[in-house]
Structure 1
Amino acid sequence: MKWTVKDVAVYLQEKEYVDTAVIPLVPLALEKNVKSIVSGGEFVQMIVSELERQFKGRVFLFPPFTYFVSESMEEKMKRITDWTSELTANGMKHIFYVTSDTEWKAREADLPGALLWLPSLPLEHMDEKYKQQIVTDQTSQLMNLLVAKWS
């Protein structure tokens, strides 16, 4: 399920079956390394969209948790903890954060949910067929991780 009126209506009816939140962690910047930062965020968004499609009805894909790269990690940790507390208070048993930002990897143990880190791949010049194959392969790996955490 996605953060849309249509999917939220279904969620409200089927709430007891939807226990997993997926939150893309997407950095923002307008100066240094902006193209690679945007590319990483775009890649993560493609992956989580496919993940949601594969697990529709079990996974709720939330809007991205966006942050400026200049923001301190303490500020980001406080905000992600607040998000997670709100979601768990409302019935989400499993919280997954998906990112290609290596800064989160260093704080993985401090996160209140599970971090799914992906290496960012520059997709802008790739053939569409090859790009889709990479997204499918990466999503398949994440699906296995989610299933393992649910067990």
Structure 2
Amino acid sequence: MIRLKNQILREAGMLARCIQSISDIKFREIKLQRGQFVFLTRICERPGINLIDLSNILKVDKATTTKAIQKLMEEDYVVKERDRSDKRMWHLFPSAKAKEIYPFIITEENRNIEICFKGFSPEEEQAVYSLLKRMRENIEQDWKELKFYKENNG
């Protein structure tokens, strides 16, 4: 029988799901549905970003981004503006409502970080960050190749 070489991705997945679940409960009161806060924070941090760049930053497909943006627009969190030179391109901006709740979202994100790193030294925190970043960079190339293949081969 083939055995899993390492539990790291399962641990990372469980960590992500715990944080997602906590965030979903916390952000329900501000009418943010499952995972929408990640889209909203990136738009607040990069006003004017387009759908393609947002999808690439978050490592999701364009359909997922489009659906999330539509819901954020319905809740008056995001404003979409057409590009002046390329009429096919849309830019995304945080609304006044989004700018108002952004500090609350980041405070919650910082709270999750503090809980995750409870008992860690600053050096351990930096090591975790560096190692996870390297792992992401390693897998990102494979993700880009698969994404390119899917986009060009249906």
The structure with the largest alpha-carbon Rg is: 2
Same topology, TM > 0.5: no
Greater percentage in strand: 1
Higher relative contact order at CA 8 Å, sep ≥6: structure 1 or structure 2? 1
> Which TM bucket (shorter chain)?
under 0.3
TM-score normalised to the size of structure 2? 0.23
TM-score normalised to the size of structure 1? 0.24
Greater percentage in helix: 2
